[in-house]
């Protein structure tokens, strides 16, 4: 039983970086496709398009930091908590990265047609980033309360 709990703990340790990477890859790919299309349709704002296409990459960074934080606490006592914190925060990072990528696609398409709304169009993108930061912070707080 102890080895099973340790296995779950290690799954929980790696889950935030794995799920965060999957979400970041997909979010950046969606936004990158829109950016490439926009580059073909316009003669300006290239930097804005490329900048928006890489925004979902932050979620893998949050996952990496969580992985290192959770790794320090692996024990049979903390195994269930590590699994829950790691898997649930990882899933949340994946979902936020996907939706942020979709919002970046919308922002790129809007800016392509009307460049002056750049600031307004990235507001929803920033709000989704905030949700990812909440997940990150709450996972760090919870991991600090695990017994070792």
Span 71-98, pLDDT tens digits: 887 888 888 999 999 999 999 999 999 9
Above 80 in pLDDT, residue 148? no
Task: Report DSSP state, residue 145.
Answer: T
Its sign, for the CA torsion 122, 128, 131, 137, is negative
Give the residue with greater pLDDT, 38 vs 148: 38
3-state secondary structure of 137: helix
Class of domain 2-144 as given by CATH: mainly alpha
* End-to-end CA gap in the chain: 17
* In the chain, % of residues over pLDDT 70: 99
Give the residue with greater pLDDT, 21 vs 5: 21
Which sequence spans correspond to the domains of the chain? Answer: 2-144
- Rounded mean pLDDT of 116-126? 94
Q: 60-79: buried (b, 16+ CB within 10 Å) or exposed (e) per residue?
A: bbbbeebbebbbebbeeebb
* pLDDT range class, residue 12, cuts 50, 70, 90: very high
- Rounded mean pLDDT of 116-134? 95
- Pseudo-torsion of CA 65, 66, 67, 73, nearest 10°? 120
Per-residue model confidence (pLDDT) at position 119: 92
3-state secondary structure of 20: helix
Output the CA–CA distances (angstroms, integers) from residue 19 to 14, 60, 148, in the order listed.
Answer: 9, 8, 25
User: Which tokens is 105 given?
Assistant: 């696609």
Per-residue model confidence (pLDDT) at position 139: 96
DSSP structure string for 32-100:
HHHHHHHHHH-SS-HHHHHHHHHGGGHHHHHHHHHHHHHHTT-STTTHHHHHHHHHHHHHHHHHHHHHH
């Amino acid at each position: 039983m102890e080895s099973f709990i340790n296995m779950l703990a290690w799954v929980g340790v790696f889950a935030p970086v794995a799920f965060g990477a999957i979400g970041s890859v997909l979010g950046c790919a969606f936004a990158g496709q829109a950016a490439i299309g926009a580059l073909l349709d316009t003669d300006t704002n290239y930097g804005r398009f490329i900048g928006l296409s890489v925004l979902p990459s932050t979620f893998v960074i949050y996952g990496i930091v969580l992985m290192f934080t959770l790794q320090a606490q692996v024990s049979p006592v903390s195994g269930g908590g590590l699994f829950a914190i790691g898997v649930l925060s990882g899933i949340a990072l994946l979902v936020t990265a996907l939706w942020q990528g979709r919002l970046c696609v919308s922002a790129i398409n809007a800016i392509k047609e009307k460049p002056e709304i750049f600031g307004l169009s990235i507001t929803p993108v920033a709000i989704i980033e905030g949700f990812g930061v909440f997940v990150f912070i709450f996972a760090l707080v919870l991991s600090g309360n695990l017994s070792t």
